[in-house]
Amino acid sequence: MRFRFIISETFKGLTRNLVMTVSVILVSFVSLLFVGASVLLQNQISVMKGDWYDKVEVSVYMCPTSSNAAACTDGEATQEQIDAVEDLINSNTLAPYIDTYTIESKAEAYERFMAAYGESRIGRNATEDMMPVSFRIKLVEPEKYQVVAEQFTGRAGVERVIDQAETLEPLFVVMNRVSWITGGLAAILALTAVLLISTTIRLSAMSRSKETGIMRLVGASNLFIQLPFMLEGAIAALIGAIGSVAALWALVRYVVVDWLSTSLTFTAFIGIGDVLRLAPWLLLAAIILALVSSAFSLSRYTRV
């Protein structure tokens, strides 16, 4: 009987304050959508880092026949200098950092160069002798590329050392900043949701002050009086959370999985499983957010 009464009062409150209920649903939807998007963006950054860093190489280019680099004033790298670099790669000093390496000869470099620029003017003027010998080094821990790069920079016969991670870092910095901005907006919207839920429940409690007064007179507990109001906020917020999960699922399913992952095959992307793992936390956050907001708001208006 009590349970039926609580459910009846809850749905009565939801329909009585329909405009405010819809407002709570929408604010909860938008705030949790931003929270979920921020978390998924961080997941995407982690996936991309793991995928790209696995492919990252440190490239050591030896001096070619003609180079304007200050390190190549003595001309093309000699075979002794090339052997010295290879010996360093195989040394005990760098063994903990280097996974594998390959040597790209002038012929291989020329073939790759022509495949990329053969139709251009610079490609037509290039010759095999102009290409540098290079070492492509795959690291055990790509984040420690600086330790390896420093060992080759400035060595005799080395024109330049290029680490692909240095190119990727600015991209990850931008993505992290976007993620933090999204998280900041989510926090602001979450605060807005708290204030709106508090206001909605407070107005609902004030509109039913006579009913709650009668309930006090017949000996109803404070929790029994407050529970229908708390459930109002929780149900409205939960509906908003379900909507945000559905929107995130659709975004990942149709934009990331069906479009981006098929169009941009050079990197990995998050999947629907990431949304499903996040969904329970968003639903729980909505319920907790609503219950805490409601309890705080009701402490003044329904106190026994």
Q: What CATH number is associated with residue 123? A: 3.30.70.3040
Q: How many residues does the chain have?
A: 304
User: For position 208, what pLDDT does the model report?
Assistant: 55
User: Which domain-ending residue is among 132, 164, 196?
Assistant: 164
pTM of the predicted structure, to 2 decimals: 0.63
pLDDT single digits (tens) 87-129: 999 988 888 888 889 999 988 888 888 887 777 777 777 888 8
Distance CA 280, CA 287 (A): 11
Task: Tell whether 21 and 65 lie within a shared domain.
Answer: no
Task: Tell whether 87 and 36 lie within a shared domain.
Answer: no
User: For position 35, what pLDDT does the model report?
Assistant: 84
User: For position 277, what pLDDT does the model report?
Assistant: 93
Task: Tell whether 248 and 211 lie within a shared domain.
Answer: yes
User: For position 53, what pLDDT does the model report?
Assistant: 64
Task: Tell whether 175 and 39 lie within a shared domain.
Answer: yes
User: For position 249, what pLDDT does the model report?
Assistant: 95
What is 46-114 written as a DSSP string?
A: HHHHHHHHHH-EEEEEEP-SS---GGGTT-SPPHHHHHHHHHHHTSTTTTTTEEEEEEE-HHHHHHHHH
User: For position 276, what pLDDT does the model report?
Assistant: 93
User: For position 304, what pLDDT does the model report?
Assistant: 44
The enclosing H or E element of 135 equals strand 134-139
Task: Tell whether 136 and 43 lie within a shared domain.
Answer: no
pLDDT single digits (tens) 154-194: 888 898 888 766 666 676 677 677 777 777 777 787 777 77
Task: Tell whether 188 and 273 lie within a shared domain.
Answer: yes
Sites in the chain below the pLDDT cut of 70: 1-17, 50-55, 164-169, 171-172, 175, 201-229, 266, 297-304
User: Which domain-ending residue is among 164, 193, 222?
Assistant: 164
Burial letters 68-93, b for 16+ CB under 10 A, else e: eeebbeeebbeeebbebbeebbeeee
Task: Tell whether 48 and 173 lie within a shared domain.
Answer: yes
User: For position 192, what pLDDT does the model report?
Assistant: 75
User: For position 16, what pLDDT does the model report?
Assistant: 66
Task: Tell whether 44 and 60 lie within a shared domain.
Answer: no
Task: Tell whether 91 and 235 lie within a shared domain.
Answer: no
Q: Are strands 57-62 and 134-139 parallel, antiparallel or unpaired?
A: antiparallel
Task: Tell whether 281 and 179 lie within a shared domain.
Answer: yes
Task: Tell whether 124 and 267 lie within a shared domain.
Answer: no
Half-sphere exposure of 104 (CA within 13 A, CB side): 19
Instruction: At 158, give phi and psi (nearest 5°).
Output: -95, 120
Asked whether the beta carbons of 278 and 248 are under 8 A apart, the reply is yes
User: Which domain-ending residue is among 105, 133, 164?
Assistant: 164
User: For position 13, what pLDDT does the model report?
Assistant: 56
Task: Tell whether 198 and 297 lie within a shared domain.
Answer: yes
* Domains identified in the chain, total number: 2
Q: Which residue range is the domain that position 149 belongs to?
A: 55-164
